[in-house]
C-alpha cells in the first residue's frame, strides 16, 4: 500500500525545505502519528474555526496524580483520537507515572491503521505539574 493512500500533509511543526523552498511534508504512517500528536496537544476551543477539535488533556495540568486522574487521561485521550483521527482503529491508551520524574505521565497510545492493518505505538510525555517548583 502506498503511503500516499494514507494521506499527506504539512509536517509539524511547520517548516520549509531550504533547498526547494517548498513546505516540508509528512506522508503515510508518519502523517497519522503527527495527526494524533496534534489532536492530543491541542486544547478544545484553541482552534477558532473548529472549537471542538483537540483533547481535554490540558485541563489536567496541576491535577493531583492519582489513579482517577490517570484513568480520566486515558479516557479523554482515547475519545479524542477516535473522534478526530478516522484513519485508525482499535485505539488503546495507557497512562503511567514515571518514577524517575515526579509529575510526569507517559501516555502510551496503541492503534491500528485501518487501511494497512499495521499496529503502531506512540509514547507522549505529559507533565501535570510543570513549572510549579
**Average predicted confidence (pLDDT) for the chain:** 88
What does the DSSP assignment read for 38-50? HHHHSBTT-STT-
Q: How is the chain split among helix, strand and coil, in percent rounded to 5?
A: 30, 30, 40
Highest-confidence segment of 5-19, 79-93, 100-114: 79-93
| Residue burial 94-131, b: 16+ Cβ < 10 Å; e: rest | bbebeeeeebbbebebebbbeeeeeeeeeebebebeee
pLDDT band at 1 (very low <50, low <70, confident <90, very high): very low
pLDDT greater than 60 at residue 4: no
Q: Report pLDDT digits (tens) over 73-83.
A: 999 999 999 99
Q: Which CATH class is domain 3-127?
A: alpha beta
Domain boundaries, the chain: 3-127
pLDDT tens digits, 57-76: 988 888 888 899 999 999 99
Amino acid at each position: 500500500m502506498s503511503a500516499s493512500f494514507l494521506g499527506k500533509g504539512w509536517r509539524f511543526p511547520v517548516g520549509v525545505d531550504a533547498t526547494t523552498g517548498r513546505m516540508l511534508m509528512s506522508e503515510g504512517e508518519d502523517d497519522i502519528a503527527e495527526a494524533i500528536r496534534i489532536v492530543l496537544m491541542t486544547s478544545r476551543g484553541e482552534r477558532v474555526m473548529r472549537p471542538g477539535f483537540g483533547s481535554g488533556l490540558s485541563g489536567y495540568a496541576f491535577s493531583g496524580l492519582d489513579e482517577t486522574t490517570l484513568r480520566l487521561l486515558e479516557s479523554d485521550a482515547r475519545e479524542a483520537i477516535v473522534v478526530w483521527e478516522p484513519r485508525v482503529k482499535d485505539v488503546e491508551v495507557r497512562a503511567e507515572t514515571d518514577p524517575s520524574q515526579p509529575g510526569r505521565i507517559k501516555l502510551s497510545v496503541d492503534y491500528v491503521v485501518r487501511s494497512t492493518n499495521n499496529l503502531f505505538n506512540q509514547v507522549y510525555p505529559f507533565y501535570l505539574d510543570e513549572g510549579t517548583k
